[in-house]
Amino acid sequence: MRILFFSAKPYDKQFFNKANEEYGHQIEYLETHLGPHIVQAVDGQEAVCVFVNDKVNAGVIGVLADRGVKIIALRCAGFNNVDLEAARKAGIRVCRVPEYSPEAVAEHTIAMILTLVRKTHKAYNRVREQNFSLNGLIGMNLHQKTVGIIGTGKIGKAFARIMTGFGCRVIAYDPYPDPQFDTVTYLPLDALLAESDIISLHCPLTDDTRHIINKQTLSAMKKGVTLINTSRGALVNTADVIQALKRHHIAFLGIDVYEQEEQLFFKDLSESIIEDDTIQRLMSFPNVLVTAHQAFFTQEALHEIATVTLDSVTALNAGNEPENRGVMLV
């Protein structure tokens, strides 16, 4: 079948072309993100493949349906950018990759924490300038710290297991706790906020979790807390976090995602004037680490994403359901 990719990067082409040797689909790639401005480019394709910042709203879905698209394949786990009800009404199937590599995201979360609390990024830059002084590089141990995890899906569980290995006390909040997961102690959200030295977000973005980190929840955290978000940008009210940084309430902030990232991430803007004052303010803090949505970005994860996506599209095109029911949204 013909599949049109949006937001396609060189690494997408590399891994999907390799995986497609087994399936034989006709794949076309567009670098632009999907939205009302480009949806008319769909011409004869039975499926579109989209990523986290593509806008698949009701209007876009209506055009896709009119142009014969039967499948929307998300090559990611999150699906907050897709109007699932509109897809259902249009008779378009929607699939995703729910668990391509929980360890990839969990390990990147650890990398961000260690970079911040041991200041290895500052040491790297300092030594390259032949400055071997240790002044200003005092860090902190992770051992015996209390780590709070908001969301204990696949990624949250992987992160919890790693932090247990560091000798941390690991607590968690999830509206649907897993009684079989005894690596963590489940607590109400307010108790987790009050007790945690480090808080890491691993929940999906929904109406209930949007801005779960806000002025009120930040005030409930310990002074000197480390906050990490490798899930979805809109879990955090960025303006409120900036105020908490200015008050020194947050000791360290690490974000791999950002509310307005679709204007920035996955692009080379090194020769551009960035007009987003909020991200510029965030990056001005010496205790803030920003990475550009790369937590998922490992060879293993990209291979799994390509394989699961093409396997799901192939099954749906043949009138079958994918073997892994977790990939199906509509």
Q: CA-to-CA distance for 99 and 96, rounded, in angstroms?
A: 9
- Topology agreement, domain 2-100+298-327 and domain 102-290: yes
Catalytic residue list contains 232: yes
Q: Which helix (H) or strand (E) holds 103?
A: helix 102-118
Domain range annotation of the chain: 2-100+298-327, 102-290
Annotated catalytic residue within 46, 259, 261, 262 = 261
Q: CA-to-CA distance for 122 and 127, rounded, in angstroms?
A: 9
Q: Quote the CATH superfamily of domain 102-290.
A: NAD(P)-binding Rossmann-like Domain (3.40.50.720)
For the record, the structure tokens of 22 come out as 């087994």
Strand order in the sheet with 198-201: 185-186, 169-173, 146-150, 198-201, 225-229, 250-255, 288-290
Catalytic residue list contains 293: yes
Model confidence pLDDT, tens digit, residues 228-278: 999 999 999 999 999 999 999 999 999 999 999 999 999 999 999 999 999
Nearest to 54 by CA among 70, 33, 77: 33
> Under a CB-based contact definition with an 8 Å cutoff, are residues 94 and 330 in contact?
yes
Half-sphere exposure of 155 (CA within 13 A, CB side): 28
Pick the CATH number of 2-100+298-327 from 2.30.30.110, 3.40.50.720, 2.10.69.10, 3.40.50.2000: 3.40.50.720
- Whether this model's pTM surpasses 0.85: yes
Model confidence pLDDT, tens digit, residues 36-91: 999 999 999 999 999 999 999 999 999 999 999 999 999 998 899 999 999 999 99
What is the pLDDT, as a whole number, of residue 247?
A: 98
> Under a CB-based contact definition with an 8 Å cutoff, are residues 248 and 221 in contact?
no
Annotated catalytic residue within 232, 259, 262, 304 = 232
Stated length of the chain: 330
